[in-house]
Amino acid sequence: MTDQPRRRIDATSLRGLAHPLRMRLLDELRTDGPATAARLAERLGENTGTVSWHLRHLAEHGFIEEETERGTRRERWWRAVRSRNVLNTTDFDRDPATKGALDVYLGEMLREQFRRVADAMAAELPEEWRGVGTVSGWSNLRLTPAQLRALNDELMAVIDRHTPAPDAEPDPAARPVILQIQSLPREESDPS
């Protein structure tokens, strides 16, 4: 089980994160570990100066930090801050000052989730990894708000049990796994 601190995203940090390149940079640092602006720029096909500017912006808002034990004054290494960011969309969806940032954030998050699934499904995997993943959907559930909240809490507890501690030694047989959960109420169909 992980003991990652939780960080509730407020209006200021949401506006600091809600940019397509900043979200991609943060995701790269979370998934592939520390990197320099030059390495990130090369991986993402971006200009190093632009990447450096966005990295500093992410650091100002506390999403990443400099890894001071690596690099030089000219070559700065960056890493994602270890925390679980929690975004409560109802904090912002009716606030015109942050609605645009929320829309950018959610749109980019959904595009990234789709890309991850598409890439994973297209990947050539060793035999032992074939057929162990799933893309599933359930559209026949009928839940109250309290039941949906309870379902989400239970799912998060299961994920927490399977999330290694930050200082845990990785199992050599393990590989990175993508886990995405979307549990959203939907509009009722018009029966007529």
pLDDT in tens, 27-61: 999 988 999 999 999 999 999 999 999 999 999 99
- What mean pLDDT is reported for the chain? 89
Out of 25-39, 64-78, 87-101, 156-170, give the one with best mean pLDDT.
25-39
Q: What is the pLDDT of residue 3?
A: 61
In this structure, CATH architecture of domain 6-129: Orthogonal Bundle (1.10)
Q: What is the pLDDT of residue 4?
A: 67
- Tell me whether residue 48 is exposed, middle or buried, using C-beta atoms within 10 angstroms of its C-beta: 0 to 12, 13 to 18, 19 or more: middle
SS3 content of the chain, % helix, strand, coil (to 5): 50, 10, 45
Handedness of CA 140, 115, 13, 29 (dihedral sign): positive
Q: What is the pLDDT of residue 27?
A: 92
Chain centroid, CA 13 distance in Å: 15
pLDDT band at 96 (very low <50, low <70, confident <90, very high): confident
